[in-house]
Amino acid sequence: MSEQGTGKPWRSREVTEGYMRGGQRALLKSAGLKKSDFSKPFIGIANSYNAMHAGHVHLNGLAELVAKGVEEAGGYPFEFGVIALCDGITQGHDGMYYVLPSRECIADSIEIMVQAQRLDGLVMLGSCDKIIPGMLMALYRLNIPALLVTGGPMMPGKYNGESKAIYEIREAAGQVLAGKMTPEQFEEMEQNVTNGPGSCAMMGTANTMAIVAEVLGAALPGCATAHAVAENKAYIARWSGRRIVEMVREDLKPLDIITQRSFENAVRVAMAVGGSTNALLHIPAIAAEQGLSITPDDFERASRTTPLIIKAKPSGPHTLWDVEQAGGVPVILKELAPLLHMEEKTALGNTLAESVADVENRNPNVIRPIANAYAPQGSLAILKGSLAPDGCVVKQSAVVPAMRRHTGPAKVFDSQEDAIQAMREGRIQAGDVVVIRYEGPKGGPGMREMLAATAVLMGMGLGDRVALVTDGRFSGATRGPCVGHVSPEAAAGGTIALVEDGDLIAIDIEERRIDLLVDPEVLARRRQGWVPKPPKIQSGVLARYAALVSSADKGAVLRPPVAAGR
């Protein structure tokens, strides 16, 4: 039996049609369906609501609006849950080991639900750092009509009359330790630094990936920067419910929209808006679900040829609310149009060029035209050299000019906790290069963020005078000369495993170099005596993750790319 507009049966008919499906129909009736509902497309609503997660605590309301839109368009909605970790809550303890691995769990769980229950279309609701990438991985892996509704940024907090974001309270902790802020001032700032539900009010990983989703055509226009509590976020949720039913009837799938050029657009936009270093992990992992390859070299080429047109926190003064008021992603696309593949499609089926034809930049001081860009290059720089033969990354847009070229002695630590203890004890001095290793995908395991360490450095006044180099990763909130994703990682025998206290490390962002200034013969002797350290956690899901995960320069994925749409 063919369905209108598709020329082929909907997947749900494998559950609902024929005498042999009587048991399935009976179970669905017990879940509340009527006989007339079996003729409707079945739409999954993957909801990552979480009562402990500021970015997701409001998603139940958006899910209800998506379901209403599905029903209005003649579909039947089925909501199911998805895990969601808050990177902010997992900072500074063993919980952070689990955050990056959760990305694969999210993608796997959505795949299992959709494939097992034969859903025809899918709307996914998520807001934050690993949830959006995991959902996008599932979207391309499944290749059924699908949309992402990002939960939206929270409104910026206010302290002393200034807009604030969550990373600033973490840096304030260092100020308290350094005697530069009183406990009373800290408590007042803590009370006011956040403002209601939503993803953190900065250009961190969550909002970087929300923008990427919209550029790819996985979310409706305007979705990425529509704030969690704003009226247009509610409208977009309901619109997405209606649109997904239309996409099922049109048989419009992700692989009909997304191409290699779409990912090239996404990388370039991420560079132009000051995007997070974590994009270097997530965009390649999403592309791999289509069998496409996005490498650190692609990021480097894009960043070198893309001007920086937004400087939002933590790299500049603006918030995501400022970006939204200026016009959001549609204006970003219009300003960058000469550099983009504007013939690529949106989730509405039209081209990017058509979708932004009538938009206007409402604040060129926030989203700058190319001719008046903040900088001639984008946010990230890929460094290579003897310390990182396969590359590493720095958010160059957040590095002060004086530290763009720096050579200093190494202070070496095998965990973030040991490094923080040294900072608190005053053992880190201006000019040092702090090396934190065995924090990579395998060695962590789980490639923890080093935000706790960078926040202490910033708070103590050393953030722009000390470099930090790690095979772990950084939060989108990180600023300063912080170099992450060093590949190969220490656990895999990378050069970073051979560094000793006092070795000189040279970082040159302009030349894209990072080198360990040690005689090769000395390094060869050190390698002969090197014994790898075991992962810090060797049981449960992290043991499996450590055994299967790729290196950071490959996106920290668990398997080779496979063809989508099976």
Say if strands 405-413 and 504-508 run parallel, antiparallel, or are unpaired.
Answer: antiparallel
- Axis-axis angle for helices 131-142, 205-216 (nearest 10): 30
Ordered alpha helix ranges (H), 217-357: 231-250, 254-257, 260-272, 279-288, 296-304, 320-326, 328-336, 352-355
Residue given tokens 């692609």 in the structure block:
298
Q: What are the b/e assignments for 502-540, b being 16+ CB within 10 Å?
A: ebebbbebeebbbbbebeeeebeeeeeeeeeeebbbeee
Q: Which stretch of DSSP H or E encloses residue 308?
A: none
Which of 367, 362, 345 minimizes the C-alpha distance to 354?
345
Work out whether the CA dihedral 555, 139, 287, 357 comes out positive or negative.
negative
Angle at 558 between CA 493 and CA 210, to 5 degrees: 110
Q: C-alpha distances in angstroms, 423 versus 171, 293, 434, 465, 565?
A: 13, 39, 10, 13, 50
User: Do the Cβ atoms of 503 and 410 come closer than 8 Å?
Assistant: yes
Cα atoms in the Cβ-side hemisphere of radius 13 Å centred on 364: 9
User: Do the Cβ atoms of 55 and 206 come closer than 8 Å?
Assistant: yes
473 beta partners: 449
Euclidean distance between CA atoms 198 and 54, whole angstroms: 6
Which of 13, 17, 14, 79 minimizes the C-alpha distance to 41?
13
Phi–psi pair at 406, nearest 5 degrees: -155, 135
Residue given tokens 């996106």 in the structure block:
555
Active site residue 475: yes
What are the residues whose beta carbons fall under 8 Å from the beta carbon of 8, sequence distance 6 or more?
A: 2, 251
Q: Which two tokens stand for residue 465?
A: 């005078």
518 three-class SS: coil
Measured between its terminal Cα atoms, the distance across the chain in Å is 21
Euclidean distance between CA atoms 145 and 337, whole angstroms: 27
Euclidean distance between CA atoms 320 and 274, whole angstroms: 12
Euclidean distance between CA atoms 11 and 25, whole angstroms: 15
Catalytic residue among 355, 379, 475, 550: 475
Please list the active-site residues. 475
